[in-house]
Amino acid sequence: MIDMAQKIEVEKAKTSRIASVDFDNLPFGSVFSDHMLVCNFSNGEWAAPKIMPYQPISLDPSAKVFHYGQAIFEGMKAYKDKEGSVWLFRPEDNQRRLNVSAKRMAIPELPKDYFMEGLKALLQLDKDWIPQSEGSSLYIRPFIFASGQGFHASPANEYKFIIATAPSGAYFSSGKVKVLIEEVYSRAANGGVGYAKAGGNYAGQFYPTQLAVDQGYQQVIWTDDLAHEYIEEAGAMNIFVRINDTLITGPVSDRILNGITRKSILEIAKQEDIPVEVRKLRVSEVVEAAKNGSLKEMFGAGTAAVVSPIATFGYRGMDYDLPELTQSYAAHFKKRITDIQYNRAEDPFGWRYKV
């Protein structure tokens, strides 16, 4: 096997921008580190990755990504512990999922070592950009898009894989998230691309989410496209509810992203003997539980916010408030996951990955 780490060419930035960054007031995902990794696909193969200064890229106006949306991405984070060591959380799952998305969007799959070795080399070079303060991390955005030219509606013959990183603070500025259960628009359909992290899945959510924002909500909870009867997921999070002491989440399907945070929560719950049900969850059941007081919690789970407690959900013109618990599952799972991510606790699952 070729040693990928040896093959990565590195062009360092002449000067670092790091001194201009206020690490105590980091936004989410809008300040970018000094370097990025770029890897091109042409003539039927991926060329060796190259690390270069973070910079704009030039594309032909006919590049297929602009017309047919052949674009996929991942979202992950690097964490720095008290000693300054750098960790990733289940990165091989992101690598695998990128290729699941690639396959569905007719994008050539990326060899595993290009992703893993490329990512590690980039993080080692930009190590100083990984924040150390509580709740902050380096958000990592690996993505692939069709750079090949032509207006013909067919898969491109050239692609770019890029990893860009952004030192980031918390995803939601306020802890109180208000969501709207959507009954008109759909995020995904049977046989569609909902399970892929395809750019178009997110573009399609912006308009209905904007309508929800105009009504005072921050996020939409998607329901099934068939009858809008079952809870599916949020814009960038899987959804959990707690009825009495049972934790419930929907099964993943071709409409729902197989979230890494979701499956980590399920494994922790199993280890701790928390009653869990992975099953289809009717909106009517959640509304009923809210009315009779058995609905204790509702939260989103995803890399960006880790666990995001929902304070209120709206449905058919009514708002339902969730109780404020002193000992919530949401806080418990968030602590267990972040303690593993930041190397503050044992990792019995082997999820932490040293860079």
Ligand X SMILES: Cc1ncc(COP(=O)(O)O)c(C=O)c1O
Residues binding ligand X (CB under 6 A): 75, 197, 233, 236-238, 257, 259-262, 301-303
For ligand X, the closer CB: 120 or 187? 187
Residue 330 is encoded by which pair of tokens? 């949401």
> Phi and psi of 243, rounded to 5°?
-110, 120
How far apart CA 234 and CA 299 sit, in angstroms, is: 10
- Give the CA angle between residues 76, 80, 84 to the nearest 5°: 150
Nearest residue to the partner ligand X, using Cβ? 259
Residue placing its CB nearer to ligand X in the complex, 34 or 182: 182
Q: Are 310 and 302 in contact (CB under 8 A)?
A: no
Query: What whole-number distance in Å separates Cα of residue 192 and Cα of residue 255?
Result: 7
Least distance between ligand X and beta carbon 320 (Å): 22
Minimum distance from residue 128 beta carbon to ligand X (Å):
25
Nearer of residues 35 and 255 to ligand X, judged by Cβ: 255
CB of 35 to ligand X, least distance (A): 23
Q: Shortest CA distance to 80 belongs to which of 25, 11, 133, 150?
A: 133
Tokens (6 digits) for 249: 């989440």
Return the amino acid letter for 303: T
State in angstroms the smallest separation of the CB of 100 from ligand X.
Answer: 12
Beta-bridge partner residues of 240: 249, 299
CA 303 to chain centre: 5
Kindly tell me which of 35 and 77 has the beta carbon lying closer to ligand X. Answer: 77
Residue number, 93 or 319, with CB nearest to ligand X = 93
Nearest distance from residue 201's CB to ligand X, in Å? 7
